[in-house]
Amino acid sequence: MAFERYRQGHVSARGRDERRLGRRSGLVVLGAVVLMAGCASTDSTASSGPEAPAGSAGSSGSQTTVAATASSTPSSTPADVEVRAVTDLVLDPTHDYGDRYADGILPVGDGKAVTDGPSKGYVYLCRTGGTGGGAQERGPWFVNNNTEYDLNAKVHVEGSVSWDGEYDATVDGDRRIIATNDVPHDHTTGEFPVQPDDPAYEYDRNPNHIEEQDLTYDLAADPVLLDEPACMGGESGVMTTGVALFNAFDAGNRDAGAWEVQDSCDGHPQVTSEYHYHTLSSCIDDVGVETVIGFALDGFPITGPTVGEGNILTTEDLDECHGITSTIELDGRQVTTYHYVMTQDFPYSVSCFRGAATAAPGLPG
């Protein structure tokens, strides 16, 4: 079952970031290219959706300091915990957040985009306008008058293709430099283009193939909160698997997690052959809320949703940009900071930027 690893809790991954920092790549830096919203499953290279912000859309706010106990009423800061940029919404690790989606039935987020400011449960786009690409047919996993979908009933693109994935992350002064060839270094992918004899072909005939990229993300290592959240484009960050993370929509502003058919690790390629996720990959081993599994384009970390066994964060528990403040393991240290959370439900990940984002190195798709 797709949700079983959430149900059973998670294994601590202290030091995982530090180990990942040692991975070798030696990749070439590409010029930054603004990425449009959504991913099109068409042969056309035309793109649709919002422009990703190059730099920031707003003024930089100052850091505030609260205690590092990661509770709803923080008190004192342990000496071994570093406090960085924090918000008023703080994780309480003793609270029972529940297990709202234990049955795998998830809400469909079609059209839940805004352009006039952030809103919880919506994606704050710099512009909308996507009209094409994505799945051709609604799958039988849509339920309850198409307002929800059953993740456990959804088909996956077949195949198990191995790649020589390269991921290298270093911190140089105030910058975090991540270089990747955008293919996973620790899991396989499906076979793309989707083959006619693949059951997924009936619903999503993705004609694109996967190619290695040369992507370098130049991110803030110690990001600062903006006074107001900023809008976003199609790409939201990069995961420690080496794979790009896109926002929650397909090229037509439909819920990509509900409509598009991905492989068994929840990834697929777009028109420029860039493999990417829209949702939390089932092939990421540790999805604990203290475990960094990626970085947003503004430099803030991305973590998993699991607080404990059967205790899982969802959109309801997070702020309008899909984040929260808590103590996490970052670069081998305990750090209390704001971070985004990958969740089971829409909008799945970053839905606006709390910091000044850099332009994505990927191409429009």
Residue pair 238/180 in contact (Cβ under 8 Å)? The answer is yes
Q: What single-letter DSSP state applies at residue 230?
A: B
**C-alpha 49: how far from its chain's center?**
18
- pLDDT-based confidence at 155, cuts 50/70/90? very high
Write down the pLDDT at residue 356.
98
Of 259 and 364, more confident: 259
| 104-121: average pLDDT | 97
Mean pLDDT of the residues in the chain: 83
Rounded-to-integer distance, Cα 6 and Cα 97, Å: 13
Q: Is the pLDDT of residue 42 over 70?
A: no
Write down the pLDDT at residue 37.
40
Largest CA distance in the chain: 60
**Strand 275-277 and strand 244-246: pairing?**
parallel
| 243-272: average pLDDT | 95
- CB-CB neighbours of 32 under 10 Å: 17
Beta-carbon contacts of residue 180 (< 8 Å; ≥ 6 apart):
25, 27, 165, 166, 167, 168, 213, 215, 217, 238, 242, 243
| 205-227: average pLDDT | 97
pLDDT tens digit sequence for 47-106 = 333 344 444 333 333 333 223 233 333 445 577 899 999 999 999 999 999 999 999 999
Write down the pLDDT at residue 24.
30
Residue pair 273/211 in contact (Cβ under 8 Å)? The answer is yes
Q: Tell me whether residue 331 is exposed, middle or buried, using C-beta atoms within 10 angstroms of its C-beta: 0 to 12, 13 to 18, 19 or more.
A: middle
| 33-47: average pLDDT | 39
Residue pair 26/168 in contact (Cβ under 8 Å)? The answer is yes
Rounded-to-integer distance, Cα 193 and Cα 60, Å: 43
